[in-house]
């Protein structure tokens, strides 16, 4: 009886290892694919413009606070203690408001994060759909992203499916594929 259990275990492990060895894998470079997509460039440009505008706005607010500090310092000898404390409290309140605004814009789940999600996620979803279609056509069980945090020390170009995903997304034609 024990022999039968051992034999069954060996057979099951043999079958499982055959399936593991039979897995087909490939990789794509999503960063390269995104760089070829006009809608990604547009989204990135819009995000960069918004980021720059928000940074300038915050910079201006900080300059305003600095000038209020300088004015307070210049008038300090002329002000009563109560008036000085009142102005200092105003400036500190404004500093807190600017900090809150900065967190609202650039913080976790801030306006910038939400805008990126709104503009870039649909483009990324399009890439993922293309990868999924290519993976199914090529019968791949695993697809790695060369641009991700997974470090690939060596990759055989035979397993690179980036061009097929570009073709699937209509960003490259067959003539370009034959050149590579």
Domain assignment present for residue 2? The answer is: no
- Average pLDDT on 112-132 reads 92
**How confident is the model at residue 165, as a pLDDT?**
87
Q: Mean pLDDT check: name the lowest of 5-14, 46-55, 104-113, 145-154.
A: 5-14
Specify the pLDDT at position 162: 85
Residue 115 lies in a domain: yes
Tell me whether residue 7 is in a domain.
Answer: no
What span, in angstroms and rounded, lies between the C-alpha atoms of 44 and 52?
Answer: 12
Residue range 17-33, pLDDT digits in tens: 555 556 788 888 889 99
Cα atoms found within 13 Å of the Cα of residue 107, Cβ hemisphere only: 7
Both tokens of 1, joined, read 């009886």
Whether 66 maps to a domain, the answer reads yes
For the beta carbon of residue 150, count every other beta carbon within 10 angstroms.
9
Q: Scanning the structure block, which residue is given the tokens 């819009």?
A: 46
When comparing pLDDT for 139 and 63, which is higher?
63
> For the chain, what is the domain count?
1
pLDDT for residue 7 is more than 50: no
Mean pLDDT score, 152-170: 76
Name the average pLDDT for the chain.
84
Closest-CA residue to 147 (of 23, 35, 5): 35
Closest by CA to 20, choosing from 31, 28, 12, is 12
Instruction: Name the token pair of 177.
Output: 């594929």
- The tens digit of pLDDT for each residue in 24-57 reads 888 888 899 999 999 999 999 999 999 999 999 9
Is 153 domain-assigned? yes
Tell whether 5 is covered by a domain.
no
SS3 25: strand
- Report yes or no on 11 lying in a domain: no
Cα angle vertex 146, ends 145, 149, to 5°? 80
Classify residue 51: in a domain, yes or no: yes
Which residue range(s) make up the domain with 38? 22-179
Take residue 94 and report the two structure tokens written for it: 């404004």
């Amino acid at each position: 009886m024990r022999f039968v259990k051992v034999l069954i275990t060996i057979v099951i492990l043999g079958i499982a290892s055959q399936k593991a060895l039979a897995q087909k894998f490939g990789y794509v470079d999503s960063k390269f694919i995104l760089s070829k997509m006009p809608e990604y460039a547009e989204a990135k440009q819009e995000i960069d413009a918004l980021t720059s505008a928000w940074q300038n706005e915050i910079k201006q607010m900080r300059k305003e606070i600095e000038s209020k500090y300088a004015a307070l310092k210049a008038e300090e000898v002329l002000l009563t203690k109560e008036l000085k404390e009142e102005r200092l409290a105003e400036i500190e309140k404004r500093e807190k408001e600017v900090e809150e605004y900065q967190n609202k814009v650039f913080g976790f789940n801030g306006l910038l994060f939400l805008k990126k999600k709104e503009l870039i996620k649909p483009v990324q979803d399009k890439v993922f759909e293309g990868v999924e279609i290519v993976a199914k056509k090529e019968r791949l069980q695993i697809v790695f992203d060369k641009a991700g945090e997974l470090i690939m020390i060596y990759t055989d170009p035979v397993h690179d499916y980036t061009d097929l995903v570009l073709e699937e997304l209509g960003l490259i034609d067959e003539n370009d594929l034959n050149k590579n």
